[in-house]
Amino acid sequence: MIEAVDLFCGAGGLTAGLREAGIRVRAGYDIEGACRHAYEFNNGATFVEKDVGQVDKDELDGWYDDGSVRLLAGCAPCQPFSTYNQGRDTTKDEKWPLLGAFARLIKECRPELVTMENVPDVTKHAIYHEFVATLENEGYFVSAGRVACADYGLPQQRRRHVLLASKLGPILIIPPTHVGQPKTVWDTISHLPAIESGECHPDDPLHKASKLNDRNMRRMRASKPGGTWKDWPKDLVTDCHNRSSGSTYIGVYGRMEWKKPGPTMTTLCYGYGNGRFGHPEQDRAISLREAALLQGFPENYQFAPANTGINFRNVGRMIGNAVPVRLGEIIGLSFQSHLEEYRMVAVDRTPHEDEIPV
């Protein structure tokens, strides 16, 4: 059996996907304590609120059972590598050393399997190539490349860099599953009940839309699915759109299209003015639940304890920062296929207490 520890686990997107693929995730590490409920409630794994840089070999080794095939997984925070930071000096960002901490734990613990997921621009930075060199020097076979998530059934036009590494032999991500037949916004959120701008559905606290002011409501009503701000009356066009630097961001304040995958979900995906996050039909921004579904989370995934208020900023950050669940599942299925190829089937082991028949 493959057992995993998920570094930089956040609300559990990667963990949930790995579990869908039949991988037993033992624990997740993250410094954001607000993610604890989402991670533990939905995934049945232990959340450890701790800086990955402070984790040592003995602690990490303690999560794995003897005889298991060990997977160390992680998505180091991507902000220093993102295109959103183009032109900014990110060399002093405190998140830079985290990929190095991940590499240190790989060297010390030597798990059989490793995966890392990040933004495509991570490959433009020396620290990424140092990370790959560490793996290769430690005897790992490494496969890495850009993945179009829509080709694997995620209803989102998201592209990510995915690295898979194995000590067992050459490894590749499984072939695309949905080329030419992507899942769409309609497939994903059309069944949800209608709500108004600023409204929360009484049966689901996450099906909650941010409130549009009067001017943005006029913009919303003037927007067409898949259209741009160029469809609006001139008095609604923002000053930034009239600047040369802003005129290229035609998706901002846009509506999604029913018959296409959604845009990349960000930490501010609940805000109409932060991207193409307008509902295709209703006059509002997408709800937090809709954003979570477009990230591949199950419809019953809970991000905060019942009967507590939903904070747009906190939950939006959890959703936008998450590894899409479907991508996590594809990564997990790739490892399962890899083990089958090399006949590394689950070994006999003493059953856990929750697996012993009563």
How far is 330 from 312, CA to CA, in rounded Å?
29
200 is catalytic: no
Sign (positive/negative) of CA torsion 24, 106, 137, 331?
A: positive
DSSP secondary structure letters along 284-326:
SBPPHHHHHHHTT--TT--SS-TTSPPPHHHHHHHHHHSPPHH
- 170 burial (CB, 10 Å; 0-12 / 13-18 / 19+) is exposed
Name 244's Cβ contacts closer than 8 Å, sequence gap at least 6: none
- Out of 9, 78, 109, 149, pick the active-site residue: 78
Quickly list H helices, the chain: 13-20, 36-43, 57-61, 97-109, 126-137, 185-189, 214-222, 239-242, 288-294, 312-321, 325-341
How far is 187 from 206, CA to CA, in rounded Å?
19
How far is 358 from 184, CA to CA, in rounded Å?
44
The catalytic residue positions are 78
